[in-house]
Amino acid sequence: MKSIFRLLAISMFLFFAAPAWSGGSAVHIYHCMQEEQGSDEELEAIVAEWLAAAKKVKGGENMEMFVYFPVAVDQGDNDFNLMLITPTFAEMGAFIDAYAGSPLEEIDDRFDKLASCANSSMWEGVAIE
């Protein structure tokens, strides 16, 4: 997850590009490769542990996280996607600011043994009712 932390830091700059009036959720999608020695179950367990710890970090209290395994999709070299969602960009920004030095860094080291996430993208999610 060291690469995830780097991508989080880089994505912080994206917040400056997001319009101030943006009312949608912040959606950060990571494109990941799974290491051969790790199982899907181990991956899901460490992601669940990471989310539980993230919810204790400022800005992460309302965070949601999903792991998407492909069924019928052209993923290229990626094995799965991780999706982090906060209700607002302000919450995502607060989370990124509080990330360094948090317990998440130790979990990241263990995640790195199971997978690597070299690319990501930031989206604004708008609910349609």
Q: Which residue has better confidence, 38 or 109?
A: 109
Lowest-confidence range among 18-22, 65-69, 77-81, 98-102?
18-22
- On the 0-12 / 13-18 / 19+ scale of CB atoms within 10 A, 14 is middle
* 128 lies in some domain: no
* 129 lies in some domain: no
Domain of 8 in residue numbering reads as 2-18+25-123
Do residues 48 and 109 make contact, with C-beta atoms less than 8 angstroms apart? no
**Is pLDDT of 13 > 90?**
no
CATH classification at residue 48: 3.30.70.100
Number of compact structural domains in the chain: 1
The mean predicted confidence, pLDDT, of the chain is 85
* 39 lies in some domain: yes
Residue owning tokens 């710890």: 53
Q: Tokens standing for 16?
A: 């400056």
* 40 lies in some domain: yes
CA nearest neighbour of 125 among 55, 31, 30, 23: 23
* 62 lies in some domain: yes
* 54 lies in some domain: yes
CA nearest neighbour of 68 among 79, 77, 60, 52: 79
